[in-house]
Amino acid sequence: MKLSLRFVLPLILVLAAIAYIVAPLVDQLTLRWFMRDLDMRSSLIARTIQQPLLEQLDAGKKNKVVALFNTITKDERLYAIGYCASPTAKALVSRSFQHLIHCENLDRWADSNELLLPSTQGPLHVSVLPMASTAAPEGRLVLVHDMSFITHRSEETKRYLFYFFMGLALVISLITVIIAQLSWRGWMSGMRSLLRGEGLLWQLASGEQPSPPEFKPIARDLQRLVRELESETRARDEEQITWSPESLRSILHSELRGEDIIVVSNREPYIHQRIDGRIEVQRPASGLVTALEPIMRACSGTWIAHGSGTADREVVDRFDRVAVPPETPAYQIRRVWLSKEEEKGYYYGFSNEGLWPLCHIAHVRPTFRTSDWTQYVAVNRKFAKAVVSESRTKNPIVLVQDYHFALLPKMIREVLPDATIITFWHIPWPNPESFAICPWRDEVLEGMLGSSILGFHTQFHCNNFVDTVDRFIEARVDRESFTVSYGGKLTAVRRYPISIEWPPAPEMVQKPVPDCRSNIRQLHKLPAEHKLGVGVDRLDYTKGITERFHAIERLLELNPEWVGRFTFVQIAAPTRSGIEEYQHHESQVRDMAMRINSRFDSNLPPPIVLKVEHHEPREVYEYFRAADLCFVSSLHDGMNLVAKEFVAARDDDRGVLILSQFTGAARELPEALIVNPYDADQCAAALHLALTMPADEQRDRMRLMRGLVAEFNVFRWAGRMLLDAAAMRRRSRLLDKNGHGEI
């Protein structure tokens, strides 16, 4: 309505102005036409009366002439008629206008051609025509027409013109408003459907053209704009949320309608081991487990994993489930049992001798065996069956973890087409050339593209993945939205940098830092003020432990004042020891530690303490809190959560983190001393800098890093993925309602 008024009023005003300008022009034009008509009329009258008039004049019958004139002036428009025999003669004039015509003024009169009569209040038109007779060769006939009818007509014309323009304005306005309303509605509904993404999604699903052609050029721009707005809003929302177990739970309930979550990983979060006749529960050294466990405690649900502990079978129920954490059960582990052959081929073989070295640049050749691949396929299928049997709905949310399950997303999708599958790849993704050497590269990619969302730690790994897909399989890659469309299904490839629980569980930091310092030093028989460095890793060749030891050796060479005053404790959790490369690596690490220790005075505290054994998280935190520095020297690492855990452990704002530039964490923690682990001299200098760093600087750096980890904790990591999954499910529900199926 407002729009209509805004349009109609100006239109009426414009047309009124036009009418105002046009009316005088029309007036002048019609006046000219009337004058010409009157001239012609006068000539006609003159010609008609010429004969009888001249006869009367010649006969000298002036009365008859006046009578003739009186008869003629009965015509209502002919106001007066007169005859002048000469300029000095007295005019013979019809009765109505006797006093007005004077023969001596005729020429001036004829020129002015009009005059006003008081009686008529209107203009008069005067025609002076020659009418010579024998007696009066200069005779002239004067015809005076009343032009008041022209004035009336002109006013009428003006009035009609005004009505005409007003009518025109109304009609134009009405038509315009109706057309505008109709097309506005059409556009709005078109825009709305585009904004909901129906146009493009429908196109993708069915190949049809649902949106009007005029929308096509703007559809992509519009969707990009909406995505940007959405992500801005999400970023704002994300920032406003205090990310905690509670906020994660509330997202799950509000955004995902309380759906249960199913997590699938190879490594289980709690391993039951029979040790000395007793069952002990261990928490494995795995970044994946560190990140996912608090999420499951917050959200409940089921975690499906390989039951690898020696007492695992003893504690499960008849459905192979066990509730955990043991002290306060919050979710359940569903254990999947693997035979020795399956474990050998799927876990040790294809996963850890094939994909692991393939994805890490650590200069260890991948080994691919057909027998391993066969087991990998079989075990993925076994886990897919477990997922299907654990899901209570047709569209569960399944969080598939890591390179052990590249085929799982597609296998789940085949049975549960409506499942929301979020796959997170915890390790780096190589460039297409490197990935190309995998003999089953197409199958691996196709399997992963069964996911709704595919997450990596860094944008660099997302780019590598999308490039690899683009290079090797027939999929449609959209680099604007970072999606891959394959087999009619859409996979969003996203960056979700993983993190840790924040604030850390109270029991992790309950022992005061001074106690941790003195306990650990006492444990290792070190003096109270002895400088202590710590490294916590699985005994894996990607962690750069030998490079780290080399750097410590260089430090002692370059700065011998640290000999006997600095000790580096390396906690090395045994891992994948069935693999030759790992056995070799372990002996290399042990030899190197011994060699370096033996190089320096054996009466002094050793430069390196190597602890190749499993440590529970609480023990690890005690080392973090006791140390002056933590050294993470991975040769290649998706994220590396040890770096973030060290920061989380230091609520005293002390301690220095030395961090490899080849970890995902280095992008988030620039306040650490960032090093190239291949450069021993640079690492030695960083060690020296860390050992001599003033307390103020330690505090400043540590506070910044703690701020980052606090803000981007693991609840936010999971929350972002769940929010994205929720948005996808909403969209898919919308499409289902319209009968277009899920994309």
> How far is residue 264's CA from residue 471's CA, in Å, rounded to a whole number?
29
Of 408, 431, 290, 309, give the one whose Cα is nearest residue 714: 290
CB of 333 to ligand G6P, least distance (A): 14
Instruction: Name the residue nearer to ligand G6P (CB basis): 283 or 729.
Output: 283
CB of 378 to ligand G6P, least distance (A): 19
- Say whether the peptide bond before residue 504 is cis (omega within 30 degrees of 0): no
Instruction: Name the residue nearer to ligand G6P (CB basis): 407 or 691.
Output: 407
End-to-end Cα, the chain, rounded Å: 40
The strand pairing partners of 333, in sequence order, are 303, 322
> How far is residue 77's CA from residue 248's CA, in Å, rounded to a whole number?
98
> Should residue 575 be labelled a site residue for ligand G6P when binding is judged by CB under 6 A?
yes
CB of 585 to ligand G6P, least distance (A): 14
Alpha helices by DSSP H, 524-579: 545-558
Which residues lie below 8 Å from residue 557, measured CB to CB, with a gap of 6+?
684
- The pattern of x and - marking residues 519 through 558 that bind ligand G6P according to CB under 6 A reads -------------------x--------------------
675, with CB counted inside 10 A (0-12, 13-18, 19+), is buried
Stretch that binds ligand G6P, among 235-243, 280-288, 544-552, 578-586 (CB under 6 A): 280-288
> Should residue 701 be labelled a site residue for ligand G6P when binding is judged by CB under 6 A?
no
CB of 290 to ligand G6P, least distance (A): 9
- The pattern of x and - marking residues 210 through 249 that bind ligand G6P according to CB under 6 A reads ----------------------------------------
> How far is residue 385's CA from residue 547's CA, in Å, rounded to a whole number?
43
SS3 of residue 146 by DSSP: strand
> Should residue 56 be labelled a site residue for ligand G6P when binding is judged by CB under 6 A?
no
Instruction: Name the residue nearer to ligand G6P (CB basis): 410 or 538.
Output: 538
Helix axes 580-599, 545-558, angle to 10 degrees: 10
SS3 of residue 680 by DSSP: helix
Contact with ligand G6P (CB under 6 A): which of 73, 211, 286, 420?
Answer: 286
Stretch that binds ligand G6P, among 283-291, 466-474, 488-496, 552-560 (CB under 6 A): 283-291
Stretch that binds ligand G6P, among 242-250, 286-294, 309-317, 668-676 (CB under 6 A): 286-294
Instruction: Name the residue nearer to ligand G6P (CB basis): 42 or 286.
Output: 286
CB of 462 to ligand G6P, least distance (A): 17
User: 127: which 2 tokens?
Assistant: 């025609």
Instruction: Name the residue nearer to ligand G6P (CB basis): 426 or 461.
Output: 426
Binding-site size, ligand G6P (CB under 6 A)? 10
Q: Give, in degrees to the nearest 5, the angle at Cα 31 between 29 and 34.
A: 115
> Should residue 402 be labelled a site residue for ligand G6P when binding is judged by CB under 6 A?
yes
> How far is residue 467's CA from residue 672's CA, in Å, rounded to a whole number?
31
Of 28, 16, 39, give the one whose Cα is nearest residue 154: 28
Chain-centroid distance, C-alpha 556: 52
Residues 83-142 that bind ligand G6P (CB under 6 A): none
Instruction: Name the residue nearer to ligand G6P (CB basis): 93 or 288.
Output: 288
Edge-to-edge strand ranges of the sheet holding 302-306:
321-324, 331-336, 302-306, 261-264, 397-401, 420-424, 453-456, 489-495, 483-486, 476-478
Instruction: Name the residue nearer to ligand G6P (CB basis): 125 or 306.
Output: 306
> How far is residue 255's CA from residue 393's CA, in Å, rounded to a whole number?
17
- Say whether the peptide bond before residue 284 is cis (omega within 30 degrees of 0): no
Stretch that binds ligand G6P, among 282-290, 324-332, 357-365, 669-677 (CB under 6 A): 282-290
Contact with ligand G6P (CB under 6 A): which of 576, 625, 644, 740?
Answer: 576
SS3 of residue 209 by DSSP: coil
> Should residue 288 be labelled a site residue for ligand G6P when binding is judged by CB under 6 A?
yes
How many residues are recorded in the chain?
743
> How far is residue 226's CA from residue 479's CA, in Å, rounded to a whole number?
16
> How far is residue 304's CA from residue 260's CA, in Å, rounded to a whole number?
13
> Should residue 267 be labelled a site residue for ligand G6P when binding is judged by CB under 6 A?
yes
Instruction: Name the residue nearer to ligand G6P (CB basis): 106 or 296.
Output: 296
Instruction: Name the residue nearer to ligand G6P (CB basis): 429 or 486.
Output: 429
> Should residue 283 be labelled a site residue for ligand G6P when binding is judged by CB under 6 A?
no
Instruction: Name the residue nearer to ligand G6P (CB basis): 427 or 438.
Output: 427
Instruction: Name the residue nearer to ligand G6P (CB basis): 560 or 574.
Output: 574
CB of 615 to ligand G6P, least distance (A): 14
Nearest position to ligand G6P, beta carbon = 286
Residues 412-441 that bind ligand G6P (CB under 6 A): 426-427
Q: Write out the residues near ligand G6P by the rule CB under 6 A.
A: 267, 286-288, 402, 426-427, 538, 575-576
